[in-house]
């Protein structure tokens, strides 16, 4: 597993030279969301599309 420092280096290496601070922050945000989602999936904390559709349709008036 990569350390946070390694992840930041990897992200920086893949950004274009003209990247802004906003670009960097967005890339870090997306990476964090992906890491959290993968961890949730590994732990079984996911909801299927079918379950979400049932929840949505039951609450739609």
The pTM for the full model equals 0.71
Q: What is the pLDDT along the chain (61 residues), one digit of tens a residue?
A: 889 999 999 999 999 999 999 999 999 999 999 999 999 999 999 999 999 999 888 876 5
Q: 38 lies in which domain range?
A: 4-59
Compute the distance between CA of residue 50 and CA of residue 47 in angstroms, rounded to an integer. Answer: 8
| Residue 40 near residue 46, CB atoms below 8 Å | yes
Looking at residue 1, what is its pLDDT?
81
Looking at residue 4, what is its pLDDT?
92
Question: Euclidean distance between the first and final Cα of the chain, in Å?
Answer: 46
Looking at residue 58, what is its pLDDT?
84
Please report which residue ranges of 1-61 form alpha helices under DSSP H.
Answer: 4-14, 21-42, 49-59
Nearest to 31 by CA among 14, 18, 49: 14
Number of domains in the chain: 1
């Amino acid at each position: 597993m990569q350390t946070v420092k390694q992840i930041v280096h990897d992200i920086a290496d893949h950004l274009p030279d003209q990247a802004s601070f906003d670009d960097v922050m967005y890339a870090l945000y997306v990476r964090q969301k992906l890491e959290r989602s993968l961890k949730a999936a590994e732990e079984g904390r996911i909801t299927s599309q079918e379950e979400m559709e049932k929840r949505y349709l039951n609450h739609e008036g």
